[in-house]
Amino acid sequence: MRFILVSALVGALLIAILAATFALQNPDLTAVNFFAWQFDFPLALILFLTLGLGVIIGLLVLLPSIVKREMKISQKNKRVMELENILAETESTLSKNNKRTQYLEENMQLPNNDSELNQ
């Protein structure tokens, strides 16, 4: 788990360095036409904003499946708790029955052979 976090951190740092390098090498203004408006922004900023917008749209597309999965996990956790409670009750009943059986075996005198049964 720690390896994954360290790898993600190193990857994020590498991407940040590459992005900063890209931004420094592309300071030229680029015209952006959006409907009737026209804006002049650095190329790097336009690409980063586009990337950010793509990430946001991707997350919004994934959101319903994430929520559905979390709801299923919650339902399964509730069912596990119910089954654990049933198991605990069953084990308790079994323990009581075992103690009762042991008590009865100790306090009842059962015939040991056939001759005692015939009498």
Mean pLDDT (the chain, rounded)? 88
Q: What is the pLDDT of residues 59-91, one digit of tens each?
A: 999 999 999 999 999 999 999 999 999 999 999
112: confidence class by pLDDT, cuts 50, 70, 90: low
The residue written with tokens 């680029």 in the block is 30
pLDDT in tens, 39-64: 898 888 888 888 889 999 999 999 99
- How many whole angstroms separate alpha carbon 111 and alpha carbon 99? 21
Beta bridge partners of 33: 38
Asked whether 27 and 41 are in contact (CB, 8 A), the reply is no
Contacts of residue 40, Cβ cutoff 8 Å, sequence gap at least 6: 29, 30, 31, 32
Determine the Cα–Cα distance for residues 93 and 7; give it in Å rounded to an integer: 51
Confidence of residue 110 (pLDDT cuts 50, 70, 90): low
**pLDDT at 114 exceeding the cut of 70:** no
Q: Can you give the pTM of this predicted structure?
A: 0.54
